[in-house]
Amino acid sequence: MRRILFANEGKVLTNGEIYGKVIYLAESVDESNFYEITEQEYDQIMLEEDRGGGDYA
Amino acid sequence: MSITATVFESLKRVSENVTRVYQSGIAVGLNQAGEVVKNEFWDDFTDSGTRTNYGYAFRHWGCEYIRPTRKIIPTDNQSGCNTFFKNTKLKKVEAAYFDFSQKGRGTNSQQGYYYTFYGCSALEEVEDIGMQADYGYSAAFSNCPELHTIAKIRCDENTGFTETLDYATALENVTFEGVIGKNLNVRWSKKLSKDSITNIVSCLSDTASGKTLTLSKTAVNNAFTDAEWTALADTKKNWTVSLL
């Protein structure tokens, strides 16, 4: 049976690469690597990852 | 078509609020003196149909529709790079005017569909313009907040989807064709339809390992019952499916 992880209210689950509030784990993924961060922390991480590039001179 | 007929067609289009006659692709236009003249813009722009590379070709244009008198048929693999980048008024990309089916496959991200429609902030629909499976669709449809329909995204196991649909907040309908073999993130698309989500999942590679599909939790909850969604997700147990 596929393992499903659920984040608590206001939180996001992550293992540093995958982010989600509900995560249906692939058989090859180790659930013990997941931890919770706040939604604000998640938003900040996404902001920092957003390159916004492509506008070449 | 006679001169009279083409002028009539020109005036008819003007009456439809197409204000930039030359950009609307009408073969005959009016010069500043009001004389009927042949519009040579598209002949020049396409090198009389021999132009092969359309990379950056329509970048920062300012019209609602791009309707050339000659069909745009790129062959150079650079042709998907920034092609329609930040056309902030563009509403629709129409299959009658563009055929990318002969574009060469890229060997790096900029030779794929790289920021192709990035920042087209009024874009609502991209018809099937023949884009084939390519190196990737890096930010191809990113930052298109009005985009509700993408008729076709063709892909294969090696096609990349880095930031492809970032901030595509209005997206309802998208159809993938082929195999999705790399991470795909559609979390911004809260209105994504049941058919579109089902299509995406059905295209996920059966042999990929360590890959993640990220969807909007709102879209999934709106489209499926718990049982339906669980059954669908279980068709691709080799994929991590994340709902955000």
CA distance B114 to chain A (A): 8
> Is pLDDT above 50 for A57?
no
* Residue B38 CB contacts under 8 Å (≥ 6 apart), including other chains: B27, B28
> What is the per-residue pLDDT for A2?
85
The pLDDT tens digits for B100-121 are 999 999 999 999 999 999 999 9
> What is the per-residue pLDDT for B205?
98
Note the maximum CA span of chain A: 52
CB-nearest to A2 from B214, B234, B243 is B234
Confidence of residue B14 (pLDDT cuts 50, 70, 90): low
Place of tokens 């055929």: B99
CA distance A35 to chain B (A): 14
% of residues, chain B, pLDDT over 90: 82
CB-nearest to B244 from A21, A24, A25 is A21
Q: Are strands A22-24 and B239-243 parallel, antiparallel or unpaired?
A: antiparallel
Flag if A12 and B244 touch (Cβ within 8 Å): yes
Burial class (CB in 10 A: 0-12, 13-18, 19+), B224: middle
Residues of A with CB under 8 A from a CB of B: 2, 12, 17-29, 50-51, 54-56
> What is the per-residue pLDDT for A47?
85
Q: Calculate mean pLDDT across residues B215-230.
A: 97
Give me the residues paired with residue B173 across strands. B149
Cβ pairs bridging A and B (under 8 Å) = 58
CB-nearest to A56 from B82, B212, B241 is B82
Flag if A28 and B237 touch (Cβ within 8 Å): no
> Is pLDDT above 50 for B129?
yes
The pLDDT tens digits for B29-51 are 677 788 877 778 899 999 999 99
> Is pLDDT above 70 for B214?
yes
> B133 in helix, strand or coil?
coil
Distance, in Å, from the CA atom of B204 to the CA atom of B142, rounded to the nearest integer, reads 21
User: How high is the mean pLDDT of chain B?
Assistant: 91
% of residues, chain A, pLDDT over 70: 86
> What is the per-residue pLDDT for B33?
82
The pLDDT tens digits for B52-90 are 999 999 999 999 999 999 899 999 999 999 999 999 999
Contacts of B211 in chain A (CB under 8 A): 26
The pLDDT tens digits for B164-189 are 999 999 999 999 999 999 999 999 99
> What is the per-residue pLDDT for A6?
97
Report ipTM (2 d.p.): 0.90
Of the candidate ranges A39-43, B13-17, B158-162, B164-168, the one whose mean pLDDT is the lowest: B13-17
Q: Calculate mean pLDDT across residues A16-27.
A: 96
The pLDDT tens digits for A32-50 are 999 999 999 999 998 887 6
Flag if B238 and A54 touch (Cβ within 8 Å): no
CB-nearest to B242 from A2, A18, A55 is A18
